[in-house]
Structure 1
Amino acid sequence: MSESSNKPPLSLSPGQWSFTRWKTIGQLEALEVHHPLFEATVFLQGAHLTRFIPKDEPNWLWLSPTARFEPGQAIRGGIPICWPWFGDPARNAPEIRKRVKTHSPHGFARTAIWKLEDVNESAHEVEICLSLDANEDFSDVWSGHALALLTFSFSVRGCQLAFTTTNLSNEPLAYSQALHTYLPTTDVLRSRVLGLGCSHYIDTLKDWEYCSQDGPVYFEGETDRIYESGEPLTIVTPNTNRKLTAVGSDSTVVWNPGPYKAEKLSDFPDSAWQTMLCVETANAASDYQVLNAGQGHTLGALIGRG
């Protein structure tokens, strides 16, 4: 990646907003929303949402207590954006693999600097829109040209993400992606995901074995599955119920590192696996997308009360 792609866009300047402000957190620039009804934090690096806090409630997202806010370092927690490939490049379809020039997982969007497009505020809602022009600046890791546009909508109803990819090249573009949502729990062993029963999934921990789900998804240690389902979900923890509704997705990733992998993860306390889980709205495995020239696709997720 070229050096210039890591620099914040020079055109950015503070807007005349009522609830939204620029803030430097660690070494990164972020937009902080302090609305009477909710708070939120979105980083320019990675278009990364780390906080959504309705009034008098805790953060709806899990953020590692040892997360680092440094250039080029993916933030552990919140909602990282995995794009234009998800997971190990070698496990993606051939049409995706042929464009990837690195072994690094999850694409470059989560560490790239995005551009602020717009902030819209009202008495009930705040919208923040960011863009990433994936052009020749990323030619050392990926061949292609696409525009990524991500709109966050915050309100008392919940938090919504709309992630649109437009193919700006003259040939078909294949890609995979995920909104890698980290959710908090007081005890992952007493948490479950409803809505995936009777669906099939790939168990990546069993050499990508194809399996069937019967009933709720429980966590008994390390979990890494790609479900063939985009149905609405309910995530039940000892303290909360959350609804997760997907748009433009026929795959859902469920992940928890468990105790042994947690010891190997960066910016992740050894015991943190007990207090989080990931339920990711995705276009992964066989659910990858192919766009013709000029064509777009929107992947969306709405996190609301259960």
Structure 2
Amino acid sequence: MKSAPGSWSFTRWTTVDQLEALKIRHPDFHAQLFLQGAHLTHFAPSNESNWLWLSDTARFHTGSAIRGGIPICWPWFGNPDKNPEAVRRHIRTNTAHGFARTAVWSLEDVRESPDDVEISLSLDANDDFSDLWDGHAKALLTFRFSATTLQLALTTTNLSSTPLALSQALHSYFPTPDITQTAVTGLDGTSYIDALDQWSHKPQQGDVRFTGEVDRIYEAGFRDIGITTTTSAYRLCSNGSQSAVVWNPGPEKAGRLSDFPNHAWQTMLCVETANALDDVRVLNYGQSHTLGVMISRLQEHKDSQ
């Protein structure tokens, strides 16, 4: 049911360093969601570890992206010059991954029930962002937490009189005890763009494995994707997406990243639900598109706590 501040049973306001956040403490699960970036940094069913990887050196500062969790890349993904022309023509900066991940979103709604909590945040990308982007759109991001699943749905509505082309990603970071013993499943037989090899097309054969830096955009269709580590297994079911990103910085790039310990690449990976490259979406005035993912964890050994 819909509720208002003061009547929430499981949701509370909190402040972490410089940033305002919502902390959810339900009997069945816990979560933490920041208004800056609509950035989820923690979700776990009760008595389980965080489903999301968060850097030990993550900063919670105004105007700085948080390293880990699920950053929102919107209304473009990656470097502007790697986007199709229809997306590039709206961009007025060299900044990668758009501006949503450092913008302050507005709380639209909190709905609580005995079984789940649903929180919606919105961002009105209007003239306030005109130095970064030529467009006007509203983003509505809804999180649904339960004892067994984490769901995100990012809906973009074009409020401009001209067509809007956008790329985007739910940039999900996952933990692993050992990246070399980790596999991404479900992509066998697809093709991908290898950003580390002159953006060439390559076929995927078997599971995705990691021996160093990986930066790939998969033409994934509507496939479910799995992540298998030595202690747990995740399943990602996406909608509104025919592309996926698999990323790990490897040892050399890890040393150049901000808020990223040198050895952290060994304990994380990103598998991102996306609209990237040929999967960009074009919206006419008033049209909407929803990019979503449902994440479940299939197992967790007790010794991983």
**TM-score (norm: length of structure 1):** 0.95
Matching residue's letter, 1:281: T
* Other structure's SS at 2:120 match: strand
SS for the counterpart of 2:196 is helix
- Mapping for residues 3-18 of structure 1, pairs under 5 Å: 14-18=5-9
What residue identity is the alignment partner of 2:193? Answer: I
The equivalent position to 1:90 in structure 2, one of 74, 81, 88, is 81
**Per-residue deviation, 1:234:** 1.0
Distance in 2 of aligned mates of 1:15 and 1:129: 17
Partners of 1:87 and 1:105 within 8 A in 2? yes
User: d(CA) in 2 for partners of 1:305 and 1:178?
Assistant: 21
Q: Deviations over 1:88-109 (max 9, x none)?
A: 0000011110110111100000
Q: How is 1:56-135 mapped onto 2 (pairs within 5 angstroms)?
A: 56-135=47-126
Kindly report which structure 2 residues correspond to 1:1-306, keeping only aligned pairs within 5 A, or say none: 14-229=5-220, 230-306=222-298
2:33 & 2:297 partners in 1: Cα distance? 21
Measured in 2, the distance between the counterparts of 1:64 and 1:75 equals: 9
Give secondary structure in 2 for the equivalent of 1:218. coil
Q: Which amino acid aligns with 2:166?
A: Y
Task: Give the deviation of 1:53 after TM superposition.
Answer: 1.2
Counterparts of 1:27 and 1:194 in 2: how far apart (Å)? 38
Q: Is the 8 A contact 1:81 1:180 kept in 2?
A: yes
Note the C-alpha offset of 1:14: 3.8
Task: Extract unaligned runs of 5+ from structure 1.
Answer: 1-12
Q: After TM superposition, give the deviation of residue 16 of structure 1 in Å.
A: 1.8
Q: Secondary structure at the match of 1:137?
A: helix
Mapped to 2, the partners of 1:285 and 1:178 lie a distance apart of 11
Deviations 1:242-272 (A, max 9, x none): 0011000000000000000000000000000
Alpha carbons 1:84, 1:177 under 8 Å: kept: yes
Cα distance, 1:157 vs structure 2: 1.7
Q: Distance in 2 between matches of 1:139 and 1:91?
A: 21
Q: Which moved more, 1:209-218 or 1:14-23?
A: 14-23
Checking the alignment, whether the CA contact within 8 Å between 2:45 and 2:148 is kept in structure 1 is: no
Take 1:87 and 1:297, find their aligned partners in 2: how far apart are those partners?
19
Q: In structure 2, give the amino acid aligned to 1:198.
A: G
Identical columns (%): 62
Contact 2:185 2:227 in 1 (8 A): yes
2-structure distance, mates of 1:78, 1:301: 14
Alignment partner of 1:242: what SS?
strand
Counterpart residue identity of residue 146, structure 1: A
Measure, in 2, the Cα distance between the counterparts of 1:16 and 1:115. Answer: 19
CA RMSD of aligned residues (A): 0.8
Tell me the secondary structure at the aligned position of residue 121 of structure 2: strand
How far is 1:171 from its partner? 1.2
Deviations 1:103-155 (A, max 9, x none): 11000000000000000001110000000000000000001000000000000
1:167 maps to amino acid? N
- In the alignment, the residues of structure 1 paired with residue 225 and residue 76 of structure 2 have an alpha-carbon distance, to the nearest angstrom, of 24
The AA in structure 2 aligned to 1:34 is: R
- 8 A contact 1:14–1:22 mirrored in 2: no
Residues 1:125 and 1:221: Cα distance change in structure 2 (over 3 Å): same
> 1:118 is paired with a residue of what secondary structure?
strand
Q: Report the Cα offset of residue 165 of structure 1.
A: 0.2
CA–CA separation in structure 2 for the residues paired with 1:288 and 1:266: 28
- Cα drift, residue 208 of structure 1: 0.2
**Matches of 2:210 and 2:5, distance apart in 1:** 44
CA drift of 1:15 comes to 3.9
Q: Alpha-carbon deviations, 1:205-243, whole Å to 9, x = none?
A: 001010000010001110000000131011000100000
Distance across 2 between alignment mates of 1:201 and 1:107: 23
